[in-house]
Structure 1
Amino acid sequence: MGRTPRSSEDAVHDRIAVLRAERRTSRKELAEAVGVHPQTIGYLERGEYSPSLALALRIARYFDLPVEAVFSLDPLPPLSSELYGRTAR
Protein backbone atom coordinates (compact mmCIF):
# COMPACT_ATOMS: atom_id res chain seq x y z
CA MET A 1 0.00 0.00 0.00
CA GLY A 2 1.87 3.07 -1.19
CA ARG A 3 1.32 6.60 -0.07
CA THR A 4 -0.23 8.89 -2.62
CA PRO A 5 -0.07 12.64 -1.99
CA ARG A 6 -3.53 14.04 -2.25
CA SER A 7 -4.68 17.29 -3.71
CA SER A 8 -6.96 19.53 -1.68
CA GLU A 9 -10.02 18.54 -3.72
CA ASP A 10 -9.31 14.86 -3.03
CA ALA A 11 -8.57 15.30 0.67
CA VAL A 12 -10.31 12.89 3.00
CA HIS A 13 -10.57 14.18 6.55
CA ASP A 14 -10.82 11.79 9.46
CA ARG A 15 -11.18 11.48 13.22
CA ILE A 16 -9.02 8.41 13.62
CA ALA A 17 -6.58 9.96 16.10
CA VAL A 18 -9.40 11.34 18.27
CA LEU A 19 -11.23 8.03 18.24
CA ARG A 20 -8.06 6.10 19.04
CA ALA A 21 -7.32 8.38 21.97
CA GLU A 22 -10.87 8.11 23.24
CA ARG A 23 -10.74 4.30 23.08
CA ARG A 24 -7.11 4.10 24.25
CA THR A 25 -6.17 2.19 21.13
CA SER A 26 -2.65 2.30 19.70
CA ARG A 27 -1.90 2.66 16.01
CA LYS A 28 -0.56 -0.88 16.10
CA GLU A 29 -3.75 -2.29 17.64
CA LEU A 30 -5.96 -0.52 15.11
CA ALA A 31 -3.70 -1.53 12.23
CA GLU A 32 -3.78 -5.20 13.26
CA ALA A 33 -7.57 -5.11 13.61
CA VAL A 34 -8.12 -3.65 10.12
CA GLY A 35 -5.30 -5.47 8.33
CA VAL A 36 -2.80 -2.72 7.52
CA HIS A 37 0.68 -1.66 8.64
CA PRO A 38 0.78 0.74 11.63
CA GLN A 39 2.47 3.33 9.39
CA THR A 40 -0.67 3.39 7.25
CA ILE A 41 -2.69 4.54 10.26
CA GLY A 42 -0.14 7.32 10.81
CA TYR A 43 -0.36 8.36 7.15
CA LEU A 44 -4.16 8.50 7.42
CA GLU A 45 -4.08 10.56 10.61
CA ARG A 46 -1.63 13.06 9.12
CA GLY A 47 -3.63 13.41 5.90
CA GLU A 48 -0.88 11.88 3.78
CA TYR A 49 -2.98 9.00 2.50
CA SER A 50 -6.62 8.48 1.54
CA PRO A 51 -8.08 5.13 2.52
CA SER A 52 -9.71 2.76 0.08
CA LEU A 53 -13.43 2.36 0.57
CA ALA A 54 -12.87 -1.08 2.08
CA LEU A 55 -10.31 0.25 4.57
CA ALA A 56 -12.55 3.18 5.53
CA LEU A 57 -15.41 0.76 6.17
CA ARG A 58 -13.20 -1.57 8.24
CA ILE A 59 -12.00 1.36 10.37
CA ALA A 60 -15.56 2.62 10.88
CA ARG A 61 -16.69 -0.90 11.82
CA TYR A 62 -13.79 -1.17 14.30
CA PHE A 63 -15.04 1.97 16.07
CA ASP A 64 -18.68 0.85 15.68
CA LEU A 65 -19.56 4.11 13.93
CA PRO A 66 -21.03 5.03 10.55
CA VAL A 67 -18.28 5.73 8.04
CA GLU A 68 -19.38 9.38 7.74
CA ALA A 69 -18.73 9.85 11.47
CA VAL A 70 -15.08 8.88 10.90
CA PHE A 71 -14.36 10.20 7.39
CA SER A 72 -15.49 13.22 5.37
CA LEU A 73 -14.61 15.12 2.22
CA ASP A 74 -15.15 18.34 4.21
CA PRO A 75 -13.14 19.29 7.29
CA LEU A 76 -14.74 17.72 10.33
CA PRO A 77 -15.87 20.04 13.13
CA PRO A 78 -14.77 19.23 16.68
CA LEU A 79 -16.83 16.44 18.22
CA SER A 80 -17.81 18.73 21.10
CA SER A 81 -19.57 21.10 18.70
CA GLU A 82 -21.45 18.22 17.08
CA LEU A 83 -22.43 16.60 20.36
CA TYR A 84 -23.04 19.62 22.53
CA GLY A 85 -23.46 22.52 20.13
CA ARG A 86 -20.25 24.11 21.41
CA THR A 87 -18.00 26.14 19.16
CA ALA A 88 -14.23 25.74 19.01
CA ARG A 89 -12.21 28.16 21.13
Structure 2
Amino acid sequence: MSDNTIASLERELAEFLGADLPEHPAADVHEALQVATLLESKGYAFTLRDLCPKSMSSNWRACFTKDGDEFASEGPESALAVCTAAVAALRNA
Protein backbone atom coordinates (compact mmCIF):
# COMPACT_ATOMS: atom_id res chain seq x y z
CA MET A 1 0.00 0.00 0.00
CA SER A 2 1.38 3.40 -0.89
CA ASP A 3 2.27 6.06 1.65
CA ASN A 4 -0.44 8.24 0.12
CA THR A 5 -3.08 5.56 0.71
CA ILE A 6 -1.88 5.02 4.27
CA ALA A 7 -2.04 8.76 4.95
CA SER A 8 -5.54 8.89 3.47
CA LEU A 9 -6.64 5.97 5.66
CA GLU A 10 -5.23 7.64 8.77
CA ARG A 11 -6.91 10.97 7.88
CA GLU A 12 -10.24 9.20 7.59
CA LEU A 13 -9.72 7.48 10.94
CA ALA A 14 -8.89 10.89 12.45
CA GLU A 15 -12.20 12.27 11.16
CA PHE A 16 -14.06 9.52 13.01
CA LEU A 17 -11.95 9.23 16.16
CA GLY A 18 -10.49 12.71 16.60
CA ALA A 19 -7.91 13.24 19.33
CA ASP A 20 -8.25 9.63 20.53
CA LEU A 21 -6.49 8.35 17.39
CA PRO A 22 -2.91 7.13 18.02
CA GLU A 23 -0.21 8.83 15.94
CA HIS A 24 0.35 6.25 13.15
CA PRO A 25 -2.03 3.30 13.55
CA ALA A 26 -1.69 2.03 9.98
CA ALA A 27 2.07 1.62 10.45
CA ASP A 28 2.23 0.05 13.92
CA VAL A 29 0.16 -2.92 15.06
CA HIS A 30 0.27 -1.77 18.69
CA GLU A 31 -1.33 1.54 17.73
CA ALA A 32 -3.78 -0.25 15.43
CA LEU A 33 -4.85 -2.38 18.40
CA GLN A 34 -5.56 0.87 20.27
CA VAL A 35 -7.96 1.76 17.43
CA ALA A 36 -9.59 -1.65 17.90
CA THR A 37 -9.98 -0.92 21.61
CA LEU A 38 -11.66 2.40 20.78
CA LEU A 39 -14.15 0.62 18.53
CA GLU A 40 -14.76 -2.03 21.16
CA SER A 41 -15.71 0.79 23.54
CA LYS A 42 -18.30 1.79 20.93
CA GLY A 43 -19.85 -1.68 21.02
CA TYR A 44 -17.93 -3.50 18.27
CA ALA A 45 -16.49 -6.98 18.71
CA PHE A 46 -13.01 -7.40 17.24
CA THR A 47 -10.93 -10.30 15.98
CA LEU A 48 -7.52 -10.40 14.34
CA ARG A 49 -6.46 -13.69 12.83
CA ASP A 50 -3.23 -14.85 11.24
CA LEU A 51 -4.34 -16.63 8.06
CA CYS A 52 -0.89 -18.20 7.53
CA PRO A 53 0.13 -19.26 11.05
CA LYS A 54 2.66 -21.92 10.02
CA SER A 55 4.09 -20.11 7.05
CA MET A 56 6.74 -17.47 6.46
CA SER A 57 4.09 -15.65 4.43
CA SER A 58 2.00 -13.05 6.14
CA ASN A 59 -1.72 -12.59 5.69
CA TRP A 60 -4.01 -11.16 8.36
CA ARG A 61 -7.78 -10.84 8.69
CA ALA A 62 -9.18 -8.11 10.91
CA CYS A 63 -12.90 -8.08 11.61
CA PHE A 64 -15.25 -5.79 13.50
CA THR A 65 -18.83 -6.89 14.11
CA LYS A 66 -21.79 -5.06 15.56
CA ASP A 67 -25.52 -5.75 15.44
CA GLY A 68 -24.99 -8.65 13.04
CA ASP A 69 -22.96 -6.56 10.58
CA GLU A 70 -19.38 -7.60 9.77
CA PHE A 71 -16.63 -5.29 8.54
CA ALA A 72 -13.47 -7.14 7.58
CA SER A 73 -10.21 -6.61 5.77
CA GLU A 74 -7.36 -8.91 4.82
CA GLY A 75 -3.79 -8.13 3.96
CA PRO A 76 -0.13 -8.90 4.56
CA GLU A 77 0.22 -6.17 7.21
CA SER A 78 -1.83 -6.55 10.38
CA ALA A 79 -1.98 -2.83 11.19
CA LEU A 80 -3.36 -2.00 7.75
CA ALA A 81 -5.93 -4.78 7.98
CA VAL A 82 -7.13 -3.45 11.35
CA CYS A 83 -7.32 0.15 10.18
CA THR A 84 -9.04 -0.68 6.90
CA ALA A 85 -11.68 -2.76 8.70
CA ALA A 86 -12.10 0.01 11.30
CA VAL A 87 -12.78 2.61 8.60
CA ALA A 88 -15.32 0.31 6.98
CA ALA A 89 -17.09 -0.15 10.31
CA LEU A 90 -17.07 3.56 11.13
CA ARG A 91 -18.34 4.52 7.67
CA ASN A 92 -21.36 2.34 8.24
CA ALA A 93 -22.03 3.34 11.85
Instruction: Give the TM-score normalised by the residue count of structure 1.
Output: 0.28
Q: Which has the higher contact order (CA 8 A, sep 6+)?
A: 1
Q: TM-score, normalised by structure 2?
A: 0.28
Structure 1 or 2, whichever has the larger Rg, is 1
Greater helix share, structure number: 1
* Structure with the larger strand share: 2
